[in-house]
Structure 1
Amino acid sequence: MTLLDAAREVRERAYAPYSKFKVGAAVRGVSGRIYAGCNVENVAYPEGTCAEAGAIALMVASGETELVEVAVMADSPTPVPPCGGCRQKLAEFGRADTPVLLATVRGAELATTIGELLPGRFDISHLSGTE
């Protein structure tokens, strides 16, 4: 199974009764294992979970803390990038040159990287010298 196949498959299980906007995401850990997540909405909108966050949580819960590839799929006219919070989450566990494939269910794709999605990212280097 490819990373994009995993994102496509998990997208079908998204819980999106309010927006009807299902998103699937998959990340590949440094081990090569694929971790997938889908968006999970809540009637109190800010309390939902993004697909990317779910995939990362599964990766960490499985014992990995480094991702080497990302795929995100949604039913949209154009590929949908991760929200700002998820861009920071991806940056926490991936490098700036980590490939990210954004795709639609109709086959449109956009290849990018974590660094292109989040230039000037906040990282551990910003914490040095703090007391």
Structure 2
Amino acid sequence: MINPDPALLQAASEVRLKAYAPYSKFPVGAAIRTLSGKIFVGCNVENVAYPEGTCAEAGAIAAMIAGGEVQIAEILVIADSPEPIPPCGGCRQKIAEFAGQGVPVTLCTTDGKARDLTVADLLPGAFDSHHMDRAK
């Protein structure tokens, strides 16, 4: 049985209710804990010029950066879905930019299902800055 971190679960659940999702009707919340222990949240924000919206994970990462932090220690994502939803491909890359491959990722549903992964599970073979070493 997976027991999501209560503080992250509460933070992601609360921000999910603030999502702006008039087109998909699919609100998503994300909460990030940084190495300092601070929690940053984000929710999806849609736009009529679809797909110009912002994912919950990207919003949480932006809040983390705006808050002066740059390293994810843990992330939790929640949505009202039959099974825990994984981040989209773009958000997987965004998460990998600020998290090590072993960082825990917890995916949750609003009815209590949860799945634990790592960043490496989400994005094996992630593109990172060392791939650009010859460009320097």
TM-score, normalised to structure 2's length?
A: 0.94
Cα deviation, residue 130, structure 1: 1.5
Q: Counterpart in 2 of 1:106?
A: 111
Post-superposition CA distance 1:29-51 (Å, at most 9, x none) = 11100000000000011210000
Aligned-CA RMSD value: 0.8
Give the 4+ runs in structure 1 shifted more than 6 A. Answer: none
Matched-pair identity in %: 61
CA distance in 2, matches of 1:67, 1:3: 13
CA distance in 1, matches of 2:68, 2:110: 30
TM-score, normalised to structure 1's length?
A: 0.98
Matched, 1:77 2:82: yes
Matched, 1:21 2:58: no
Q: 1:8 is matched with which residue: 5, 13, 20?
A: 13
CA distance in 1, matches of 2:19, 2:35: 25
The alignment covers a number of residue pairs equal to 131
CA distance in 1, matches of 2:15, 2:120: 25
